[in-house]
A and B are shown apart, each in its own frame.
Chain A
Amino acid sequence: MTVFRPLVERRTYRELLFLLSGAPLAAAWFGLLLAGWLAVGLLAVTPLVVPALVAFRWATWLAAAAEAAVARGLLGVDVRLSRPRPAGRGYWGRIRAGLADPTFWAQQLYLVLRTTLGFGIAVGLASVVGVSLQLVVLPVTYSHFHEDVLGLHVQTGGTAFALVPLGLVGVVASAWLVRGLAAMWARLARMLAEPFAASLPRTDVQGILRRLLPAHAAFYAGLNLILIVIWALTTRAYFWPEWTLMPLAVPLAIHAWTVFVDSGDPRRIARTRALAIDLGAAMTLFLFFVGIWAVTTRAYFWPMWPGLGLAVVVGLHALATMTRRIDVLTTTRAGAVESAESELRRIERDLHDGAQARLVAIGMSLGLAEQKLADDPEAARTLLAEARAGTGDALRDLRDLTRGIHPPILADRGLEPALAALVARVPLFVELRVDLAERPREPVESAAYFVAAEALANAAKHGGAARVDIRAVRIGDAVVVTIMDDGHGGANPAGAGLQGLRGRVEALDGTFRVDSPPGGPTIVEAVLPCAS
């Protein structure tokens, strides 16, 4: 009987324990987060904020370590935390290091989820299990306690026995519920240790939302249809189904809007996905309030007050987004100009020291040969041969240079053959995986190529790597290039090469990350958006 299987497996009870542990832990983390942020906030104007933040970072880490231990023991997820990295240089540098640490934020997020979602799940699960068990034992207990269960006052044995199957169904259903929720938390728990995007199992959230939309809509339509039919068959007096029609329309509308936003256009108008979704959600909520107003008193137009609040929130969000956007554009534009500038300088230097110098040498050989042609034809012949060899070298220099500017095979055949050709020139074991349905725009393609080329060259030159993994995949509407090597790490992200790549990637509105702890491995990742 597969339906009852979760009931007899020990795993289910361990997972139940984990989910229920959400209630006490939520209380503890709520206290920690509140105290931590309060302390940091209150001390923000004094120098004491630095020790406060450092201590808070460590406290967060300890809480995360405790959570990881619980998740390991009860969920069987293999999460192991590494200690927080040494916290920046100088007194104030510690703040920046703390706030810039993605692990810190991921752990904060996890603790917040545990206090909110986790708490809700624990309470909800406890009541479902409690009520179900209560129903199962009802035939024994009802005469002693005269209980009210599910709003029913049970007085006869018949009613009590009739409710037992419902209790059994509840027990089985909660066992399955435990399994599902535990699987979800197992995914979330990974966040504790691995905030870095490259190591996370990539989930296509947008794709999942899109696929779920029809089911969501069908659920909404089906449920309301049933309720309306019930209403039509019964009283037909007050139209009570409006209280499922309207509130459930809110999440559906926001869901649909999110999917619509991901299809592209509204985002371009609002410049970011978050703002576009915020805008849609605010409109939906406002319409919801107007709806409630319309079906109730219709007297005083009170929805204008929440509407005003929502407008202020959206306005502030837009302002923050725009300010951030301006900052990003300013810095990336400067970065792009700078990297183009230094690239041009490099080309100029290469031409000057390479091909130009060689042509001068060839000219000299030819000039000498011309002089000697009459009286020493043998020497002239040697000079001519030298000149010819020189042109070969000059051509080779130019070829290397053009490959560095834009490899012909990249334009001709696209990313995969170009990377394959690149890999062929490197004496390392390279695992290459390119998975792109179509060719991205040219700037994106060449940025992806040069990220891989530079990272590969670094791995070969400084990284002491023996094996390199290169991946270029499309996730959502971005091309993600990840290069991971097993070298000894310690790459300097502020070095000229990596900094140039950053400029190049950020000029395309992408993000560029280097993670190279001493001892390796080195991971270089570029996310290149390509709205198509």
Chain B
Amino acid sequence: MIAEDLALLRDGLTRLLRDNGFDVVAAVADGDALVHGVMLEEPEIAIVDVRLPPTFRDEGLRAALEARRLRPQTAILIVSQYVEHAYAAELLADARGGVGYLLKDRIMDVAEFVEAVRRVAAGGTALDPEVVAQLFTTRNRAGPLERLSPRELEVLALMAEGRSNAGIAEALVVTVGAVEKHVASILHKLDLPPSESDHRRVLAVLEYLQG
């Protein structure tokens, strides 16, 4: 289901998702309707705008977290005109995966956006590259990331966005095997336990970066 207050974007998003084989069960315009809709329609994933009426602040984020508290199996994908890593941290706080946080700009790259929706619905994560970039500036100075090679930093950034090894390999135009080697090296250098599941991996990385 979709929660977005601007009719233009709501209809556009609905059409885009329907064209790509999704079933949009509800498209609503405010936070309360979102929480009701999640309880009533039980969607696999809710795509929510951060800024919703009546306050036009972070209403959408709060409503989404509330909906997820009431029905934990709902995946949440937050879309917004701006990203703040503080919000990403709140979304990821329960460390369960099935969350995403993207700039609205990313919707324009339809294939990638659809990929992200599927990934989040399946329990993975999708973080906007800008969030990841913010995290990296913040931590630039202090220590541990300096141990990584530039290539490993690139891989880490893509990992934090929620991509699988195959996805990373495609983005960097290298083999999956090479990526696997980098990932193992990164996790080792950052003293993180090796993990299979994609979103676990992301969460570990983020927790590490923020902690």
Contact = CB atoms under 8 A, between A and B. Distances in A.
Given A391-B108, A392-B105, A421 B141 contact: no
Contacts of B58: 412-413
B138 A424 contact: yes
B105 A424 contact: no
A408 B57 CA distance: 7
B49 to A, nearest CB: 12
A429 B143 CA distance: 13
A420 interface: yes
Interface residues on A, range: 20 to 34
Interface stretch (A198-206, A396-404, A476-484): A396-404
A392 B109 CA distance: 10
Interface in B68-93: 81-82, 84-87
A403 B134 contact: no
A429 B135 CA distance: 14
B137 A403 contact: no
Contacts of B85: 421, 424
B140 interface: yes
A424 B134 contact: yes
Contacts of A230: none
Contacts, number: 52
B182 interface: no
B51 interface: yes
Which residue of A420, A424, A426 has the most chain B CB atoms within 10 A of its CB atom?
A: A424
B81 A411 contact: no
Contacts of A392: 105, 108
Contacts of A395: 81, 103-105
Contact of A421 (B51, B84, B104, B109): B84
A394 to B, nearest CB: 9
Interface core residue of A402, A417, A421, A423 (most chain B CB under 10 Å): A421
Contact of B86 (A409, A411, A426): A409
Interface in B116-167: 134-135, 137-138, 140-141
Contacts of A398: 81
A427 B58 CA distance: 27
Nearest to A408: B82
A409 B140 CA distance: 22
Interface in A418-436: 420-421, 423-427, 429
Most buried by B among A395, A399, A412: A412
A432 to B, nearest CB: 12
A424 B108 contact: no
Contacts of B140: 427
B30 to A, nearest CB: 16
Contact of A424 (B57, B87, B109, B137): B137
Interface string A496-521: 00000000000000000000000000
Contacts of A429: 141
A388 interface: yes
A258 to B, nearest CB: 40
Contact of B137 (A411, A413, A425): A425
Contacts of A388: 108-109
Contacts of A424: 85, 134-135, 137-138
A275 B82 CA distance: 48
Interface in B50-70: 50-51, 57-58
B134 A425 contact: yes
Contacts of A417: 84, 86
Contacts of A426: 137
Interface in A225-243: none
Contact of B105 (A396, A409, A412): A396
A395 to B, nearest CB: 5
Contacts of A403: 82
Nearest to A429: B141
Most buried by B among A395, A408, A420, A426: A408
A423 B86 CA distance: 12
Interface string A413-457: 100010011011111010000000000000000000000000000
A420 B108 CA distance: 30
Contacts of B141: 427, 429
Nearest to A396: B105
A416 to B, nearest CB: 10
Contacts of B108: 388, 391-392
Contacts of A411: 57
Contacts of A421: 84-86, 134
Nearest to B104: A395
A121 B16 CA distance: 84
B137 A420 contact: no
Contacts of B84: 408-409, 417, 421
Contacts of B51: 408
A468 to B, nearest CB: 12
B86 A420 contact: yes
A412 B86 CA distance: 11
Contacts of A427: 137, 140-141
A396 B103 CA distance: 10
B137 A399 contact: no
A463 B81 CA distance: 32
Q: Which 3 A-B pairs have the closest CB atoms?
A: A424-B138, A412-B58, A412-B57
23 contacts: A388-B108, A388-B109, A391-B108, A392-B108, A395-B105, A399-B82, A402-B81, A408-B50, A408-B51, A408-B57, A408-B81, A408-B84, A409-B82, A409-B87, A412-B58, A417-B86, A421-B86, A421-B134, A424-B137, A425-B134, A425-B137, A427-B140, A429-B141
Given A409-B87, A412-B58, A427-B141, 13 more contacts: A391-B108, A392-B105, A398-B81, A399-B81, A408-B57, A408-B82, A408-B84, A409-B82, A409-B84, A424-B85, A424-B137, A424-B138, A425-B137
Interface of A: 388, 391-392, 395-396, 398-399, 402-403, 408-409, 411-413, 417, 420-421, 423-427, 429
